[in-house]
Amino acid sequence: MSDTTPEQIDALARAAARAHEALLATDGAERAGWLRAVADSLDAAVDELVQLADQETALGETRLRGEVARTTGQLRLFGGVAEEGSYLEAVIDHADPAATPPRPDLRRILRPVGPVAVFAASNFPFAFSVAGGDTASALAVGCPVIVKAHPGHPLTSRRTADLVAGALQNAGAPEGTFALVEGYDAGLALVDHPAIAAVSFTGSVAGGRALHDRAAARPTPIPFFGELGSINPVVITRSADESRGDVLAQGLAGSFQLGAGQFCTKPGVVFVPRDSTVAEKLPSLVGQAPHRMLTESIAAGFHRGLEHLSQVPGVTVVAGAEAPDDSAAPVVVRADAATLAEHADTLFDEVFGPLTVLIDYDDEQQVTSALSNLGGSLTGTLHAEDGDDVGDLVAALERISGRVLFQGWPTGVAVTWSQHHGGPYPATTSQHTSVGATAVRRFLRPIAYQDAPASVLPAALREENPLGIPRRVDGVLQP
């Protein structure tokens, strides 16, 4: 398939704009039916999809089957979100002439922003790709979606898109509700098109920042929701290391090597007490076999990052093996807090792949000081024991992370109502999550109706509440 042409981009964007007008008249239950139809279609084709994806990504059947299940689970979750209705944040304040000043009848709701451009990720060919969480959350609230396929898995993308489009059409979704485009220039044209109302992206800091700036530079700027880079620091207290260092070493080994380290939540830097059990045991738990990376550029970036780290005075490679240019073998490097303080820019530079950096510290102050120099991350993890005074450490992790974990490992992101997958820049470019129920908030804008006749109000704001959704009326929450 050749790259999508500018003329095709224009036609697809215009069709999405027309679909947006039609989608404004749909309700959550109707859209939930569409999402469940897509999920059923993907589940029915799981064998074919996994085979295609494994050929293109080398992620393995077990991982990919689990990812298809996660993807269809996300679709069904967002169907439930659309039906339940609290995402609309419907609020009614009845008129009160006796108030000071007099209050008109005001009714507020969240409405879909319009067509959304979704840039698929390389490391999740299903869950963050064509039918992934961004697509599901946008469709759930009535935003048409045009996906920019990732070049790392084109065959998987095209087949998934065929299934999504077919399921939506058979379920009765308007023409233009969903489309797929391919090619670097096509992605830029999509961001530039006046019909596109928002952009979501998962990928590198450099690529995401370029698209973010482009979206902001349009004659009419639009919001850009990017998930970019993340170090995901881990702190292990001395008492935790002493009481269960062997177990922690095993957990860390499994987490940073999972999926060849190609997870946005991979623990990239781990603070351990000097002479720790974790640092002693970890090298023996590191594999030697190279793993083919998702793309040649990711592999090249891994080798460049490793080279930069290994050239820093005071940094030692304590585990690792040679790997071909298109592959990576797991690597552990080690330095102390003084070296980190002098070379933070390099040691805190994300290396995407199976590499983690151990930092030996002498006291908690060295850790909190180092964390203050770290950019935003999706996660921050703390391993401590009962009785440890960890208030300052927790506060330091809260300042730079979107999710703070205790006694676990950051790889693995549950798709739930309460999940938050985001963080300060460069982890993400907004305050909203890209995983879980509230991911829909990215693609909604508030609108208030003042003294509006009932005939023009959205159903969610009508007095009789025909949708039966949660609302706040005159300041009182009504489930």
pTM of the predicted model as reported, rounded to 2 decimal places: 0.95
Q: Tell me if residue 470 falls in helix, strand or coil.
A: coil
Digit-coded pLDDT (tens) for 262-320: 999 999 999 999 999 999 999 999 999 999 999 999 999 999 999 999 999 999 999 99
Residues 6+ apart with CB under 8 A from 345: none
* Annotation says 21 is catalytic: no
Superfamily the domain 6-228+428-478 falls into: Aldehyde Dehydrogenase; Chain A, domain 1 (3.40.605.10)
Report the distance separating Cα 271 and Cα 293, nearest Å.
27
For residue 457 the two structure tokens come to 């109000």
Write down the number of H helices and E strands in the chain. 15, 19
Q: What are phi and psi of 53, to 5 degrees?
A: -65, -35
The pLDDT of residue 278 is 98
Report the distance separating Cα 216 and Cα 208, nearest Å.
12
Residues 6+ apart with CB under 8 A from 424: 375, 376, 377, 399, 400, 401, 402
Closest CA to 87 of 473, 471, 477, 474: 471
Q: For 174, which DSSP code?
A: P
The pLDDT of residue 2 is 83
What is the number of alpha carbons within 13 Å of residue 202 lying toward its C-beta?
Answer: 29
The pLDDT of residue 26 is 96
CB 426 within 8 A of CB 400: no
Report the distance separating Cα 148 and Cα 118, nearest Å.
6
Report the distance separating Cα 418 and Cα 438, nearest Å.
8
Q: How confident is the model at residue 350 (pLDDT cuts 50, 70, 90)?
A: very high
Say whether the peptide bond before residue 446 is cis (omega within 30 degrees of 0): no
Report, as an integer, the average pLDDT of 137-158.
98
The domain segmentation of the chain, as residue ranges, is: 6-228+428-478, 234-406
End-to-end Cα separation, the chain, in angstroms: 50
- 391 CB-contact burial (10 Å; exposed 0-12 / middle 13-18 / buried 19+): exposed
> Would you say the C-alpha torsion 171, 174, 175, 177 has a positive or negative sign?
negative
Q: For 282, which DSSP code?
A: G
Q: Is the model's pLDDT at 421 over the cut of 80?
A: yes
Q: Tell me if residue 71 falls in helix, strand or coil.
A: helix
What does the chain come to in residues?
479
* Annotation says 143 is catalytic: no
Beta bridge partners of residue 328, listed in sequence order: 291
CA angle 393, 399, 401 (to 5 degrees): 95
Report, as an integer, the average pLDDT of 227-255.
97
What is the number of alpha carbons within 13 Å of residue 211 lying toward its C-beta?
Answer: 30
Q: Is the model's pLDDT at 1 over the cut of 80?
A: no
Q: Which amino acid is at 308?
A: H
Active-site annotation holder among 67, 182, 264, 350: 264
Residues 6+ apart with CB under 8 A from 174: 18, 19, 22, 23
Active-site annotation holder among 67, 83, 182, 227: 227
For residue 217 the two structure tokens come to 């530079």
Closest CA to 253 of 217, 285, 215, 301: 285
Beta bridge partners of residue 405, listed in sequence order: 381
346-350: long-range pairs with CB below 8 Å, 24+: 346/308, 346/309, 346/312, 347/269, 347/309, 347/312, 347/315, 348/231, 348/269, 348/373, 348/374, 348/375, 349/305, 349/308, 350/205, 350/229, 350/230, 350/231, 350/268, 350/305
CA 218 to chain centre: 24
Closest CA to 384 of 366, 364, 365: 364
Task: Name the class of domain 234-406.
Answer: alpha beta
Digit-coded pLDDT (tens) for 200-236: 999 999 999 999 999 999 999 999 999 999 999 999 9
- 398 CB-contact burial (10 Å; exposed 0-12 / middle 13-18 / buried 19+): exposed
Closest CA to 184 of 430, 429, 9: 9
Q: For 311, which DSSP code?
A: T
